[in-house]
Amino acid sequence: METPSTPAEPMLWSGWGDPAKATELPEPVRKLLADFLGVQGPAAPAATFGEVRLPAAALPPAVLAALAAITGAGYVRTDDDARIRHTRGRSTPDLLRMRAGDGSDAPDAVVLPGSHDEVAAVLRVCAEHRVAVVPFGGGTSVVGGLVASREGFAGVAALDLSRLNRLVSVDVESMVAEMEPGLRAPQAEELLASHGLTLGHFPQSYEYATLGGFAAARSSGQASAGYGRFDDMVVGMTVATPRGTLETGRAPKSAAGPDLRQVILGSEGAFGVITSLRLRVRRAPERRVYEGWRFATFAEGLAAVRRLAQDGPAPTVLRLSDETETLVGLAQPGELGSSATGSGCLVVAGYEGGPDDVSYRGERAAAVLAATGGVHLGPEPGEKWAHGRFDAPYLRDSLLAAGATVETLETACFWSAVPRLYEAVRQALTAALGSPLVMCHVSHVYGTGASLYFTVVTAQTDDPVGQWAAAKRAASEAILRAGGTITHHHGVGRDHREAFGAEIGELGAEILRAVKERLDPAGVLNPGVMIP
């Protein structure tokens, strides 16, 4: 597979991605939805752009003038188009609210700084005038990371980082690239490809998400088994805070006290704005091979992928679907609802690298998968997965329009707890939603444990936002009871704040509040996000 290129169009305002790629649901899928889930169409037609209800923009003219003096007037926007496109993120509740014409969380202004110094100056002005600042990368947060509390603030400014979009330098000897945070992943890959390099970070939100967002929300991509999580790739950062600039990371590893990079990674804009990233890069793979394996049961598949994760050789991509996800064909969106996908549990294994390395790892991993009960399905399922790997979010738009509620959630735990966690989340979702379709796959593996990624489909009620909130609450409680983390890669945002507090305890929360107090005494950075 070639590295996909940057979509030409800006993100659809009330859905996912490039409007040109919108997909119609095939008739058999519509029939399945109606027959098995009772989906009968949406409660109301979706609002048009012009029907979105926006609050009056609140920022005083003097503040807007001070911001414009920093960035230039053209880069401080208060028009409806800019405000709507910077409202919330791309979770299903976010999309449902926009489809209902609810623009109540819109920022008052969108500020587009062009450099680290401009970001720093904007933060100073906002701190002085008590304006809440929401750093905005690709706008793909699915955890409410882009909605600031307004209480006690003069207004809210979205800080759009898209103008910080340069590949600053490449140190080929160290395999480190300095890149700016507003680069979307495809732009970053294109720039690195001209040096024969890659990051290897391919989350499902790849087309629109940015490097800054990946670091701020501790993202993990579909090829994490081979390339690692995004936080593994960050060797250094420059961060603008209202108190000044923080530089972190002067060597690959260090024993000089706690690692301050870890304070910024996952801080979701609450501690500062990442204005530059030093990233570990890899040589662009010469060869990519993806293939499918079938296991009779999820338990057998789990044992097989665990063995690969623990004893090697590690594939670059390793994904195990449970029985339901395999049957529905979600790993290959082009096959959705077709009987071609078959029974059992599908494993997609992929190998990227030099030809010898790909052959060596492919053969050795095949021996492990066969010895643990896998049946080799050849390249077709793997190629189909690779071809459709960024398509599922487009499908979500079609499902929402058809009257289904469809949403995902993810967690991680140690291997010994995986079966318990899997059952607990499925039961919680089923109890909360009646008889939904609950699908799951192992999305990321480690020697010590794995991430479980659930996709849920059910018929929309009259209040689909409330319907999902109740289900999500039940799933979150089940996750914590079963020993999982509230998030493996989506981050905390507003949606996971309470559960995150339960996970780290009061002392943990106090540490985070103390850091916030020191870096952002006026509390203007993303108030209400991440910190319990």
Q: Mark the binding-site residues, compressed into ranges.
A: 135-141, 268-274, 396
Of the candidate residues 268, 352, 383, 495, the single one contacting ligand FAD (CB under 6 A): 268
- State the SS3 of 274-330: EEEEEEECEECCCEEEEEEEEECCHHHHHHHHHHHHHHCCCCCEEEEECHHHHHHCC
Phi, psi values for residue 312, rounded to 5°: 75, 175
Told to check if 528 binds ligand FAD by CB under 6 A, we report no
Which of 103, 186, 212, 382: binder of ligand FAD (CB under 6 A)? 212
Under rule CB under 6 A, which residues in 301-360 are in contact with ligand FAD? none
Q: Check binding of 200 to ligand FAD (CB under 6 A).
A: no
Under the binding rule (CB under 6 A), the answer on residue 210 touching ligand FAD is yes
Site membership for ligand FAD, residue 409 (CB under 6 A)? no
> Which span (29-37, 413-421, 484-492, 494-502) binds ligand FAD, by CB under 6 A?
484-492
Tokens of residue 335, six digits: 């096959």
- Asked if 500 interacts with ligand FAD (CB under 6 A), we say no
Does residue 464 belong to the site contacting ligand FAD (CB under 6 A)?
Answer: no
Structure tokens at 33: 């939805």
Using CB under 6 A, which of 112, 183, 234, 273 touches ligand FAD? 273
Closest CB 532 distance from ligand FAD, rounded Å: 15
**How far is the C-alpha of 527 from the C-alpha of 147, rounded, in Å?**
8
**Is 155 a residue that touches ligand FAD (CB under 6 A)?**
no
Per the CB < 8 A criterion, the answer to whether 82 and 133 are in contact is no
Q: Residue 219 CB, nearest distance to ligand FAD (Å)? A: 3
Position 526 contacts ligand FAD (CB under 6 A): yes
Tell me the site size for ligand FAD, rule CB under 6 A.
Answer: 38
Q: How many helices (H) and strands (E) does the chain have?
A: 18, 18
Verify binding: residue 274, ligand FAD, rule CB under 6 A. yes
CB of 182 to ligand FAD, least distance (A): 7
Pick the binder of ligand FAD from 122, 132, 188, 216 (CB under 6 A): 216
Nearest distance from residue 183's CB to ligand FAD, in Å? 10
How far is it, in rounded angstroms, from Cα 316 to Cα 200?
9
269 sits near ligand FAD (criterion: CB under 6 A) = yes
Stretch that binds ligand FAD, among 98-106, 135-143, 280-288, 363-371 (CB under 6 A): 135-143
Torsion of CA 268, 266, 350, 322, to 10 degrees: -90
Asked if 16 interacts with ligand FAD (CB under 6 A), we say yes
- Using the rule CB under 6 A, give the single segment among 102-110, 166-174, 205-213, 335-343 that binds ligand FAD: 205-213
What lies within 8 Å, CB to CB, of 413 at 6+ separation is 421, 449, 450, 452, 482, 483, 484, 485
Stretch that binds ligand FAD, among 35-43, 209-217, 249-257, 501-509 (CB under 6 A): 209-217
Q: Hey, which bits of 218-281 come out as E strands?
A: 234-241, 244-248, 273-280
Please state the φ and ψ torsions of residue 530, each to the nearest 5 degrees: 70, -55
- Cα-flanking dihedrals φ and ψ of residue 290, to 5°? -125, 140
209 interacts with ligand FAD by CB under 6 A: yes
Q: Give the Cα separation of 203 and 231 in Å (integer).
A: 13
**Residue 266 binds ligand FAD (CB under 6 A):** no
**Annotated binding residues for substrate, as ranges?**
396
- Exposure of 2 by Cβ count < 10 A (0-12 exposed, 13-18 middle, 19+ buried)? exposed
Phi-psi region of 171 (alpha: psi -120 to 50; beta: other; left: phi over 0): beta
- Cβ-closest position to ligand FAD: 213
Reply yes or no on whether 422 is catalytic.
Answer: no
How far apart CA 159 and CA 135 sit, in angstroms, is 5
- Local structure of residue 490 (DSSP, 8 states): S
CB of 435 to ligand FAD, least distance (A): 25
Q: Which two tokens stand for residue 45?
A: 């037609």
Report the amino acid identity of residue 290: Y
Report the residue from 87, 162, 205, 458 that binds ligand FAD according to the rule CB under 6 A.
Answer: 205
* Identified binder of ligand FAD from the candidate list 113, 393, 484, 523, rule CB under 6 A: 393
| Residues in contact with ligand FAD by the rule CB under 6 A | 16, 89-90, 134-142, 145-146, 161, 181, 203-205, 209-210, 212-214, 216-217, 219-220, 268-269, 273-274, 393, 489-491, 526, 529
Catalytic residues: 453
